[in-house]
Amino acid sequence: MAEINFYNIDCIELMKTKPDNHYDLAIVDPPYGIGASNYQRGGTRYGNSAAICKTYTKKDWDNEPPSKEYFDELFRVSKNQIIWGANHFISRMPYDSSCWIVWDKMTAPGSGYADCELAWTSFDKAVRQFRIQWSGMLQYNMKEKEERIHPTQKPIPLYGKILQKFAEQGMKILDTHGGSMTIAIACDKLNFDLDVCEIDEEYFNNGKKKFNEHKCKPTLF
């Protein structure tokens, strides 16, 4: 059974308590510095979207990308890293990578949403692409849609595919910005130990609730 530990604290403070290379793999989705936390279009349609956008609490956590101290600690405590949004702050990555992850969101033509999201990785492998629909109201499984509780939420199967491709059983995983905690559900399903941080109390509580609901009614990928 996977050990999933949730921390409602600053991730830098948690990482400072860990020895070098404590985690086998860090899979993180930090702020990109593009204002995603405060430009949510509640009550309006975006581009040619068919549905009204969901309203989230306006916050300021995405005004700047993570600090040098964050990346220093991240690379110290983890052996390998997968970092979403690194194309927005590529100058903060320590070296070039041949292995980027491309998440094809299968957006509807003309919707206005980004077609893909990118993640930098520390692996010496080829580029990998995952196609999982996540475009406005459209999802990979319309019969059992995931509730969106975070403006930059990523679907559970995306984390599942990443774990299956880049992790091995017995590895300990770190996520410094848990958000909706979908990575916790994926790790639990695939039996990976995880430490996950989320400093925002609203996101932390909603994410924990989502995880607990999953535990009460487990499902398969």
**Distance (Å, whole) CA 133 – CA 139:** 5
pLDDT along the chain (221 residues), means of 10: 96 98 98 77 45 70 92 98 97 97 90 89 98 89 89 96 98 97 97 98 96 81 48
Phi and psi at residue 39, to the nearest 5°: -110, 20
In the CATH hierarchy, which top-level class contains the domain 4-216?
A: alpha beta
HSE of 10, CA atoms in CB hemisphere, 13 A: 9
Q: Which amino acid is at 52?
A: I
Q: What is the pLDDT of residue 71?
A: 98
Distance of CA 128 to the CA centre of its chain: 17
Q: Which amino acid is at 167?
A: A
Q: What is the pLDDT of residue 108?
A: 81
In the chain the beta strands, taken as DSSP E runs, fall at 4-7, 23-28, 78-84, 100-104, 116-121, 128-131, 134-135, 138-139, 172-175, 193-197
**Distance (Å, whole) CA 183 – CA 163:** 10
Classify 183 as helix, strand or coil.
helix
Q: The tokens 């979403």 sit on which residue?
A: 84
Q: What is the pLDDT of residue 138?
A: 85
Residue ranges of domains in the chain: 4-216
Q: What is the pLDDT of residue 102?
A: 98
Q: What is the pLDDT of residue 190?
A: 97
| DSSP state letters, 122-159 | S-SS--EEEE--EETTEES-STTPPPP-STT---HHHH
Classify 25 as helix, strand or coil.
strand
The DSSP bridge partners found for residue 5 are 195
Classify 220 as helix, strand or coil.
coil
* Cβ 87 vs Cβ 93: under 8 Å: no
